[in-house]
Amino acid sequence: MSEPLEKDKSIYSLISPELAWGGSTGKGIRVAIVDSGIDVSHPSLKDSVKGGVEISIDNNKKIHISTPEVISDNFGHGTACAGIVRKIAPQSELYSVKVTASGKGKGEAFLAGLKWAIDNDMNVINLSLGTTNRIYTGRFFKLLEDAYYKGNIIVTAANNLPSLSLPSVFSSVIAVSYDDFKDEFSFQYHPNSKIEFDAPGIYVKAPWPGGGYRKMTGTSFAAPHISGLVALILSKHPGLMVFQVKAILSFLGKRKS
């Protein structure tokens, strides 16, 4: 009887970082940052943001999608995430999908922003936010199914607290938690877990509105590391589906039993 696949070390040598993303810069890959916006004036993000929208909800609970004259971020969270993606995939094309101005948003705006990113053919969608409100389960499921079959690859942060959050619980996304990796290309794979990957997320240096930087901790800042790697992979190997990208990442990540 053969040993289980996870114990067969030889198969993991079939894919290497060089084969997966060597020489890639993320060129031609559109990455949506569904978040608090992006400070496009930050030096580290110069010329990387190619467009964006703002999602708002009026007093009658009607959703409005607008194109701002100037893409901005008064909270900082989205700028930090965008900067992490840009550092790993410097030629990727970033799009700001602003669904919150304060770090606390409404589920309806979150869903509308995700739908916009899917409908507008974003190759990678970074969701460094989530909700524990199960009322949205069905609607998330429908959107994520649409994204899966269209080929949009969604990378989502797990909850910082022990309870699981939407949409990280769905198998159609790449769910990410954080660990103390010093190398931005280091990450870990968890077999048989809803949260499949850990990436650098402790005291990560990231850009902040106003031209400065902060050191950030949390799953929010681990997810864009994986989004950046996915952008590199897709730029080198166009047309891959999420299950293929997950397979590549699972081969290359440190394995946690």
Answer whether residue 15 is part of any domain: no
Q: Which of 35, 39, 73, 198 is catalytic?
A: 35
What mean pLDDT do residues 125-146 have? Answer: 96
| 64 is known as an active-site residue | no
Residue 59 has a pLDDT of 86
The CA distance from 154 to 146, in Å, is 11
For residue 134, give its domain range. 24-255
Answer whether residue 105 is part of any domain: yes
Q: What angle do CA 176, 178, 180 make, to 5 degrees?
A: 150
| 227 is known as an active-site residue | no
Token duo for residue 179: 């660990």
Evaluate if residue 103 carries a pLDDT over 80. no
Answer whether residue 238 is part of any domain: yes
Reported pTM: 0.94
DSSP per position, 28-97: T-EEEEEES---TTSGGGTTTEEEEEEEEE-TT--EEEE--SS---SSSHHHHHHHHHHHHSTT-EEEEE
Answer whether residue 10 is part of any domain: no
Answer whether residue 73 is part of any domain: yes
Answer whether residue 9 is part of any domain: no
Residue 105 has a pLDDT of 75
DSSP per position, 121-179: T-SEEEE---B--GGGHHHHHHHHHHHHHHT-EEEEEPPSSSS--BTTTSTTSEEEEEE
Q: Which of 39, 73, 77, 128 is catalytic?
A: 77
Answer whether residue 204 is part of any domain: yes
Answer whether residue 122 is part of any domain: yes
| 198 is known as an active-site residue | no
Q: How many domains is the chain built from?
A: 1
Q: Which of 44, 168, 172, 220 is catalytic?
A: 220
Q: What is the pLDDT of residues 195-232, one digit of tens each?
A: 999 999 999 999 999 999 999 999 999 999 999 999 99
Report the CATH number at residue 140: 3.40.50.200
